[in-house]
Amino acid sequence: MVTILDYGAGNLTSVCLAFERLGVQPRVITEAAQFGGGRLVFPGVGSAGSGMAGVRARGFDALLAQQVARGVPVLGICLGMQLLLDTSAEDGGTAGLGLIPGTCVGFEPAKDPEAKIPHMGWNTLDHMAHPLFANIAQGEAFYFVHSYFAKPAREADILGRTDYCGERFAAVIGHGSLVATQFHPERSGRAGEQLLRNFLAWEA
């Protein structure tokens, strides 16, 4: 079973359709009390401040912490990835979930004046050895849309990197049963489909 968390941060249709194409009918819940087990997907688009407000209002902060502690596979996507960290510089400073130590900061235009922010479109990924990347080649391209990026405190929590705007940033992070991508696998064609397939098969 796959459960997708809806905390009011973006359209979940593309995430649901991606899993349906793999033969999985996900369940979308709007509050923690509706959770009935299975793998968790924590997607999101938008800003950190409003995103965290929605997460807390629906009890998803406690749910995510509980399920990660139990070793349940959890996949964060885009804003969902950023909110897993301790803090974000967005919205004047936002406290995150603290499930992976680190912070989230914005791209600095001065480092590459020609780079457009937000980082939007296809970019390549250099990844570490991890079951999430089975049958995914080094340098495969994924689809990104973001202005902020993760800076994990522990090098071991960085599972993949991408270059943009003078930064070699963490595009995939993870620890234990928790993995998260800055890019949108549900919008990343065959490579994204393979990553979701690997998540479904992963025994964390």
Enumerate the active-site residues: 78, 184, 186
φ, ψ for residue 42, nearest 5 deg: -120, 80
At 72, list the tokens. 């349940």
Name the DSSP letter for residue 63: H
In angstroms, rounded to a whole number, what is the distance separating the alpha carbons of residues 181 and 87? Answer: 17
Pairing of strands 87-88, 102-106: parallel
In angstroms, rounded to a whole number, what is the distance separating the alpha carbons of residues 137 and 123? Answer: 14
**Cβ(202)–Cβ(132) below 8 Å:** yes
Only one residue has tokens 């680190």, namely 102
Q: What torsion, rounded to 10 degrees, do the Cα atoms 101, 102, 103, 109 define?
A: -160
Asked, as a colleague might, if the bond just before 118 is cis with ω within 30 of 0, I would say yes
Half-sphere exposure of 133 (CA within 13 A, CB side): 22
Q: Letter for the amino acid at 31? A: E
